[in-house]
Amino acid sequence: MIRKIIILCSVFFLSLSPVMAEKSPEAEAFVMDVSNRVIDILSYTSTTEKEDAFRTLLNEKANLKRIAAFTLGKYRRQLSPAELQEFQSLFETMITKVYANRLGTYEDQQIIVLGSEKKKKDYLVETELRFKDGSDPIAIVWRLRQEKDGRITLFDLRVLGIWMALEQRETFLSILKNNNEDFDVLLDNLRQQIATGSTKTSD
């Protein structure tokens, strides 16, 4: 009787244990490739060359149109094709200039892949940004998406617990909400960020 109880308890607790996530060597290799290229780009002395190389990398490895559409939320459906195209162009330039400059503040760094997990069409790759000077490492989680043609593309990054595309979406939606859904205000905000090289916004 006691043996049966032990067996039943074992089965019960095993059923509560999480199933091992499916790792993806392909996704981890993607992250390492992008990371190494970013580190190379940061060594450029020319700001223009750095931004051009970063833009090329983003267009190659990220689906910027999907990310831009995501940051607009429900307002995406309200835009004309011309408005959406203008937004996507400004969004790409803003991401290139602002984040190329932001990444430039990190020096002597190395990305270490800690593991990966596949969730339907998405991959989550957990990494750490480590510094040679002994500074505390920064946890970075990469959300990747598998395209219809089988390619893997970058969709979002979680840095210090914050998903960057999601944070950008919340900022954009707040701007639109606080300005009577005037899309021109959002476009002007993007132009200001591009001009100043800053992600700070004013509602």
Q: Are 143 and 120 in contact (CB under 8 A)?
A: no
For 45, counting Cβ atoms within 10 Å of its Cβ (0-12 exposed, 13-18 middle, 19+ buried), the class is: exposed
Which residue ranges make up each domain of the chain?
39-196
For 39-196, the fitting CATH number among 3.10.450.710, 3.40.1190.10, 3.30.1540.20, 3.40.190.10 is 3.10.450.710
Torsion (CA) 79, 83, 89, 90 in degrees, nearest 10? -90
Low-confidence residues in the chain, pLDDT < 70? 1-22, 102-108, 198-203
Structure tokens at 79: 């835009």
HEC sequence for the chain: CHHHHHHHHHHHHHHHCCCCCCCCHHHHHHHHHHHHHHHHHHCCCCHHHHHHHHHHHHHHHECHHHHHHHHHHHHHHHCCHHHHHHHHHHHHHHHHHHHHHHHCCCCCEEEEEEEEEEECCEEEEEEEEEECCCCCCEEEEEEEEECCCCCEEEEEEEECCEEHHHHHHHHHHHHHHCCCCCHHHHHHHHHHHHHHCCCCCCC
pTM: 0.79
